[in-house]
Amino acid sequence: MKDDEFIREVNEEYRRDRAAQVWTRYSGVFIGLAVLIVLGVGGWRYWQHAQTVQAEAASQRFDAAVRAAKEGGPQAAEKAFETLAGEAPGGYRLLARLRAAAEAGKADPAAGAKAYAAIAGDSSVGASLRDLARLRAALLRLDAEDPEALNSLQGLAAPTSAFRHTAREMLGLTAMRKGDFEGAGRWFDQIAADRETPQGLRQRLEIYVALVAGGPVQVSEAPPAPPAAPPEASR
C-alpha cells in the first residue's frame, strides 16, 4: 500500500511540474486568448445593443411614415418611405421600399410597377419577397394590357409558387375580360385541382365557373317597332 501511495504522489508531483512548465512556456498565449474572448463577448454585446437602438429608431420612423401616408396622401407617404428606405437598417429598409412602391402605385401605376420591379430584381432580397414584388408589379400593369405582366403572372402560377393562387385567379379573370372563356376555364381548373387553394378563392371559383359555362353574353337586336296605327278618320 505504501508503494502505491508513493507512486501516486510521484505521479501527482510530475503532473504539477509539467503543468508549471506548460504555464511558464505558454502563459502569454493563454492570457492573450482570454483577452480576445473577453473583447469578443464585449464587442458582440455592444453590436447587439447598437442593433437594438437602430431597430427601435427605425420602428419609430416607420410609424411616422405610416401616419404621413394617412394624413398627407400618397405623394407625401412615398417620399417619407423612400427617405426611410435609404437610411433604415435591414428589414425596415425593405419594408419601406415595399410601402414606397405601393404608395407610388396609387398615384401612378407605371411608377409603382417600376419600383416593385426594382425590388424583384434585387438579389439581396429573399426569393419569396421578390416574388411578391413581381406579383404586385404585374397587377399594376394588368389594366394597361402589358404582355410582360401576363408573362410574370404565368411564371408565378407554377405549382411550386407561393403566389400561384392569386396569379391563376388574375390570369383567369383577364382571359374572361378578353373573351377567352376557354383559356379562363383552364386557369380555373388549375385552381379547383389544387388542394391548397384557399377557401375564399374556392367560393369565388363557383361564380367564375358559372360565368365560363354561360359563355359570352349574346346581345340580340331588338325587333323593329310595329308601325304606328293610322289615325282614325274623323266622322
Task: Tell me what percent of the residues of the chain surpass a pLDDT of 70.
Answer: 63
- Which pLDDT score is estimated for 219? 43
pLDDT range class, residue 54, cuts 50, 70, 90: low
Contacts for 55-61: CB closer than 8 Å, 24+ residues apart: 55/89, 55/92, 58/84, 58/88, 58/89, 58/92, 59/92, 61/88, 61/92
Give the DSSP H/E element, type plus range, for residue 91. helix 90-107
Least confident of 13-17, 66-70, 88-92: 13-17
- Rounded average pLDDT over 3-29: 63
In contact, 126 and 94? CB cutoff 8 Å: no
- Which pLDDT score is estimated for 213? 87
Q: Which of 122, 80, 125, 120 lies closest to 100 in space, CA to CA? A: 80
Task: Tell me what percent of the residues of the chain surpass a pLDDT of 90.
Answer: 37
pLDDT digits (tens, 9 = 90+) for 143-166: 877 888 999 999 999 999 999 999
Domain boundaries, the chain: 72-152, 157-214
Asked if the model's pLDDT at residue 136 lies above 80, the reply is yes
Verdict on whether the full-model pTM lies above 0.75: no
- Which pLDDT score is estimated for 38? 73
Q: Which of 200, 109, 117 lies closest to 151 in space, CA to CA? A: 117
C-alpha neighbours within 13 Å on the C-beta side of residue 69: 19
- Which pLDDT score is estimated for 37? 75
pLDDT digits (tens, 9 = 90+) for 83-121: 777 776 667 788 888 888 888 888 889 999 999 999 999
